[in-house]
Amino acid sequence: MKISEIGEFGLIRNIQQNFSRKILSTLIGIGDDAAAVMVSSSKVLLATTDLLLEGVHFDLSYSDFYSLGWKSAAVNLSDIAAMGGIPRFCLTSLGLPSNIKVEQVNEFYRGFGAIAGKHGLGLVGGDTCGSQKGMVISVTILGEVEKSRVLTRSGARPGDSIFTTGTLGDSAAGMEILRSKKSKVKSKKKKARSQESRVMSLIQKHLRPTPRVDEGRKIALSGCASAMIDISDGLSSDLGHICEQSGVGAEVYADKIPISTELKQHSGGLKNTVLHYALAGGEDYELLFTAPEMKLRKLSGLKMQATEIGKIIKGKAVHLVDGSGNMRCLSPLGYDHFRPHR
């Protein structure tokens, strides 16, 4: 059977089923944003790893090494944030083609260090190899969380409200702008300064995302959330993961989805609708979480940018509801590594 027949998530399920040896101290194994293992009766060690491949996850013709280092740390920090955890240590492994310069590796670690420093993350090891084809980056982060505070994808219940931090779609729009800039001969006409800053803001969201570590921690400590995930594959896919693992359905109200002013104002210059970037785009690294009604007042007291975008419902269906009340099925639209052209 070809891996494209079952897709990325089918393959992960397959690995999970074939490797079902259970270890007692594993609180959360394959299937969430990070693994959680018990290291004492109250403390949980979180572990998450991500692989970034040149030509798949990044393009050195438009990403500088500083941003690449930043993003490599950010995507992993985001998974620790999604569990409500505190990042502690990391390991970085690099596969480097022979044309990469020492200065470029230093720039990578300057970017990596800038965001690692913000979160008190220490680099404690890794591995370095030559690569025959393209640059390869693997980052593993270890974090911790109290056993009573850990948040998973499986706790959403019917009646819970669905929230997202920040705004959605900017990163995907930024990537489209970067890709089109690459293929276009630069226009000689000077763009208006306001348009330039809008474009820069979208590009920045793609190249140097902000993981919501502080927000994740606040949400976890407050005890308000029933489930949480970070939005790495796009709202439609990541909400799908919460629903599948919680055994529930959802209704998302299209006109409640938070869209940045920059994305709205730049919508005319993009290939798709703003809603498409928000639902399918991915790489937002915002937190998507659910909260029961009795916690909503406490949640609003947390004073963070979180927008209610829908409700968890009974059943399995995930719907998108437009401003006129029309419903359509919201299937996962995010990227699947083995079915990229779905």
Q: Which is nearer to ligand ADP, 15 or 192 (CB)?
A: 15
The verdict on 283 binding Mg ion (CB under 5 A) reads: no
Least distance from C-beta 79 to Mg ion, angstroms? Answer: 4
Q: Which of 3, 26, 30, 191 binds ligand ADP (CB under 6 A)?
A: 30
Q: d(Cα 165, Cα 215) in Å, to the nearest integer?
A: 8
CA angle 304, 310, 311 (to 5 degrees): 110
The verdict on 327 binding ligand ADP (CB under 6 A) reads: no
Least distance from C-beta 189 to Mg ion, angstroms? Answer: 41
The verdict on 12 binding ligand ADP (CB under 6 A) reads: yes
**Structure tokens given for 274:** 């703003």
Q: Which is nearer to ligand ADP, 32 or 215 (CB)?
A: 32
Pick out residues in 198-217 that bind ligand ADP (CB under 6 A): none
**Cβ(74)–Cβ(87) under 8 Å?**
no
Q: d(Cα 102, Cα 68) in Å, to the nearest integer?
A: 15
Q: Which of 144, 160, 176, 230 binds Mg ion (CB under 5 A)?
A: 230
Q: Which is nearer to ligand ADP, 30 or 56 (CB)?
A: 30
12 binds, among ligand ADP, Mg ion, none (CB under 5 to 8 A by kind): ligand ADP
Distances from the Cα of 149 to the Cαs of 24, 109, 159, 225, 291, in angstroms?
19, 32, 21, 10, 14
Q: Which of 50, 244, 251, 308 binds ligand ADP (CB under 6 A)?
A: 50
Least distance from C-beta 143 to ligand ADP, angstroms? Answer: 13
DSSP code of residue 254: G
Q: d(Cα 242, Cα 338) in Å, to the nearest integer?
A: 21
**Structure tokens given for 132:** 């025959």
The verdict on 56 binding ligand ADP (CB under 6 A) reads: no
Between β-strands 318-321 and 249-253, what pairing exists: parallel, antiparallel or unpaired? Answer: parallel
The verdict on 33 binding Mg ion (CB under 5 A) reads: yes
The verdict on 232 binding ligand ADP (CB under 6 A) reads: yes
Strands (E), 147-257: 161-165, 227-230, 249-253
32 binds, among ligand ADP, Mg ion, none (CB under 5 to 8 A by kind): ligand ADP
The verdict on 124 binding ligand ADP (CB under 6 A) reads: no
- The residue written with tokens 């079902």 in the block is 20
**Cβ(205)–Cβ(197) under 8 Å?**
no
* Residue 15 CB partners (closer than 8 Å, separation 6+): 30
Number of residues that bind Mg ion (CB under 5 A): 4
* Contacting residues toward ligand ADP, per CB under 6 A: 12, 15, 30-33, 50, 79, 232
